[in-house]
Structure 1
Amino acid sequence: MDIRTEKPEDVEAVRNINIAAFGRENEANLVDKLREMASTFSFVAVESDRIVGQIFFSPVAVEGKGSKNLSILGLAPVAVLPNYQRQGIGTLLIREGLKECGRSGFQAVVVLGHQDFYSRFGFIPASRKSLKCEYDVPDEAFMVLELESGALEDCSGTVKYRSEFRICE
């Protein structure tokens, strides 16, 4: 399994993976819109020259105290073709994606997801770092991971996703 940066020729395969993984076009449409933005990261999992998974990171903003110079990304979506799920591909995409985000100078990543799954990567409830989600979600489902130790120490506020996320609702 190879994890690499998405290439322009991967766009159609990535779209198809998101549709297959989620059973709808919302996430595929989201990725297509976000791909046009600056400071986004898309990685794909390739097995035998076939793209079987994808992960996407895009900038989020924090409205609140001490957030002016923070560089934070939101992780969404993670998609793996149904026949390849439960084989560790999503885990590999997340681990490699987080490493690359850290290498690129981002200080933290937020995710809206299952606590049992994402805590394996070091994510904790964002409320423990005085952050809340703009969406009405359970506290334990909105999590954060500091890529730079102490980056969120003097920060508090509401995490705002890009407007493109509204097409995924």
Structure 2
Amino acid sequence: MKVLIRQENRNDYKSVFELIEKAFKNQEYSDHKEQFLVERLRKSEVFIPQLSIVAEVDGQIVGHILFTKLQIVNELSVFESLTLAPVSVLPEFQGKEIGSKLILYGHEQAERLGYKSVILLGHEDYYPRFGYQRCEKYNIKMPFDVPAENCMVVPLVKDGLKEVYGKIVYPDVFFE
């Protein structure tokens, strides 16, 4: 199976909306509104077009990933970072490494654009294979109560998290 990974474009929006809806339909830890979050994020100041990425198989969009801007703030500094939310793969294509390809490609593109880290809320058994570690290791804290094992961060470059600590500040668009 040949998978094409590329930047999303406006013509993909409807397919991506339906893909996300299907991907999260039966997920236990979902509000089933991820597709609406992606729509809001695309219209916000934290959207980075190069980091809205799709996977295609035989001309069909089967996966999507989105990285958007966020900040890590402490009493002295504000650090720019990214958040990965969401990664979506059509149910019939799950388990075929499409999510992995999207994550790795997204990391490469983010690093190329100058970003140094990515933060996410996700499954503690899935994301460590991509270098994600608990945020608490870096004294990075979520702004809300969630299990520590689900709060993860990955440096995209050597020393990408050096001297970075504080509270994550999600853009308001995440809570609309």
SS at match of 1:110: strand
CA deviations 1:7-56 (Å, max 9, x no partner) are 11000001001111111751000000101234422000001011001000
Partner Cα distance (2:8, 2:76) in 1? 33
Are the counterparts in 2 of residues 65 and 156 from structure 1 also a CA contact under 8 Å?
A: no
SS at match of 1:116: coil
Are the counterparts in 2 of residues 67 and 156 from structure 1 also a CA contact under 8 Å?
A: no
Q: Which one has a larger percent helix, Structure 1 or Structure 2? A: 1
Please report the TM-score for the alignment, with normalisation by the length of structure 1.
0.92
Are the counterparts in 1 of residues 72 and 80 from structure 2 also a CA contact under 8 Å?
A: no
Are the counterparts in 1 of residues 53 and 66 from structure 2 also a CA contact under 8 Å?
A: yes
Please report the TM-score for the alignment, with normalisation by the length of structure 2.
0.89
Name stretches of at least 5 consecutive residues in structure 1 with no aligned partner: none
1:96 to 105, 126, 130: 105
Partner Cα distance (1:135, 1:162) in 2? 13
2:72 to 42, 62, 65: 62
Tell me the residue number matched to 2:163.
154
Partner Cα distance (1:17, 1:8) in 2? 15
Count of aligned residue pairs for this structure pair: 166
CA deviations 1:66-122 (Å, max 9, x no partner) are 542x32000000001111111111111111111110111001000101122100000
Tell me the residue number matched to 1:76.
85
Identity, % of aligned positions: 35
RMSD between aligned alpha carbons?
1.4
Partner Cα distance (1:147, 1:100) in 2? 10
Structure 1 stretches of at least 4 aligned residues deviating more than 3 Å after TM superposition: none
SS at match of 1:71: strand
Partner Cα distance (1:5, 1:21) in 2? 19
1:50 to 60, 70, 74: 60
Name stretches of at least 5 consecutive residues in structure 2 with no aligned partner: 26-30
1:57 counterpart letter in structure 2: F
